Amino acid sequence: MLIGRIRPVETRTFDVQGESLAALRAAVEAQLPAGWVVADAPAAMPKGSQLLTSTATIARRDGVEQIEADDQAALEAKVPPGWQLLSVHVV
């Protein structure tokens, strides 16, 4: 018997701006839902501007569940669309 841990795979992007890197980070964190993490937030300063801008990418990391199957192929077949298999344990 195999037990697999799965979680949803979902990302979102949004634009933020601020006067400093700390302000950008705060703007991203203000829009960060519970269970999500910042995956990427590259900073740029457009020509003629004194503000930093970023298109932040956040990723969902909550919603972990377990599935069971008799073999690896059956376990992988049970992973729903939009989910990823994180780990497999033999019982």
Q: Is the pTM of this model over 0.85?
A: no
- The 10 Å CB-count burial string (b at 16+, else e) for 13-38 is eeebbbeeeeebbebbeeeeeeebee
Total domains present in the chain: 1
Residue 37 lies in domain: 2-90
Task: Give residue-wise pLDDT tens across range 7-50.
Answer: 999 999 999 999 999 999 999 999 999 999 999 999 999 999 99
The three-class DSSP label of residue 74 is helix
Tell me, what amino acid is at 59? A
Cα distances (Å, whole numbers) of residue 81 to 9, 10, 13: 9, 11, 21
